[in-house]
């Protein structure tokens, strides 16, 4: 990929992560004008943390540190992982797009795991920053609120219904809005940041929230 390419990937065979410079640019803003909360959400979670987690998703975990296809997990860990991921598959199977189309939770599992894991990794890192510790409001928003909104910023876009329908059937990624709402609904800090309560559309009971990494 060229430096200006807006993309990133994890290659399990080489045990490598490639992050072109273009993926870190927020269109319309200079780097120095963006606060840490937005950066950690926009780039830390959706890109860096996402690609790291791919090394431990349902496919990446099957490769060892040398890039060899080899199961290096203990049976107990593998069973716990499969139990948690099955719960995540069922969550996404229940998402409906365009009135009747369901997400294929199994086909999109790797990307869904990476989205959730990336958010959790970057959130842990953001909590070490001065901005988070000071807790000052910016435009009426707390650092934690800005973190989640920074992540959501990376998934803004428009698609025709026909394109969306095609991608639901063929893409290993969930639609952009579910790459936000899906993982958010499993993170306790999201509930605290926005005061999500039972009865709200994105509420999940504590026992139904998935935490894999």
**Catalytic residue numbers, as ranges:** 51, 115
* Residues near 132 by beta carbon (within 8 Å), at least 6 away in sequence: 36, 37, 126, 143, 144
Short-list 177, 40, 213, CA closest to 98:
177
R_g of the chain computed on alpha carbons: 17
User: What does the chain come to in residues?
Assistant: 213
Please give the structure tokens belonging to residue 181: 């709402």
Q: Which residue has the tokens 């840490």?
A: 36
């Amino acid at each position: 990929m060229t430096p200006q390419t807006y993309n990133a990937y994890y290659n399990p065979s080489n045990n490598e992560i490639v992050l072109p410079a273009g993926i870190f640019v927020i269109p319309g803003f200079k780097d120095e004008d963006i606060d840490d909360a937005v950066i950690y959400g926009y780039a830390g979670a959706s890109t860096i943390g996402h690609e790291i987690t791919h090394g431990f998703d349902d496919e990446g975990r099957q490769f060892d540190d040398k890039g060899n296809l080899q199961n290096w997990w203990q049976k107990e860990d593998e069973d716990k992982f499969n139990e948690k991921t099955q719960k995540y598959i069922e969550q996404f199977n229940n998402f409906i797009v365009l009135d009747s189309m369901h997400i294929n939770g199994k086909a999109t599992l790797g990307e869904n795991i990476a989205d959730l894991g990336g958010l959790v990794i970057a959130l842990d890192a953001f909590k070490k920053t001065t901005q988070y510790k000071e807790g000052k409001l910016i435009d009426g928003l707390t650092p934690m609120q800005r973190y989640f909104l920074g992540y959501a910023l990376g998934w803004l876009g428009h698609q025709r219904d026909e394109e969306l329908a095609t991608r639901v059937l063929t893409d290993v990624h969930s639609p952009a809005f579910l790459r936000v709402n899906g993982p958010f609904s499993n993170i306790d800090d999201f509930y605290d940041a926005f005061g999500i309560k039972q009865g709200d559309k994105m509420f999940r009971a504590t026992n139904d929230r998935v935490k894999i990494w």
